[in-house]
Amino acid sequence: MMPFEKRVVPFFHLFLIAISIFVLVPFVWIIAAGFKTQISLLQGEIFFTPTLASFREVLFSRTTEFMDNTFNSLVVATASTIGICIVATLGGYAIERLGTSRLVVHALLGWAIVFHMVPPITLVAAWFPLYRELGLDNTYFGLALAHVAVHLPMALWLMANFVREVPVELEEAARIDGCTTPYLIWKVIVPLVAPGLAATAILTFIFSWNEFAVALNLTAKQTATVPVAIAKFAQGYEIKYGEMAATAALSLVPALAFLLFGQRYIVKGLTTGAVK
List, for residues 9-32, the tens digit of each pLDDT value.
Answer: 778 888 889 998 998 898 888 899
For the chain, the structural domain boundaries read: 63-272
List, for residues 219-233, the tens digit of each pLDDT value.
Answer: 988 899 999 999 888
Task: Return phi, psi of residue 273, to 5°.
Answer: 75, -145
Q: What is the reported pTM?
A: 0.84
For residues 71 and 196, the model is more confident at 71
Smallest CA-to-CA distance from 242 within 69, 254, 234 is with 234
From 50-54, 106-110, 140-144, 159-163, the region with the lowest mean pLDDT: 106-110
List, for residues 226-253, the tens digit of each pLDDT value.
Answer: 999 998 888 767 788 889 999 999 998 8
Spatial contact of 50 and 214, defined as CB atoms under 8 Å apart:
no
Return the CATH fold of 63-272.
MetI-like fold (1.10.3720)
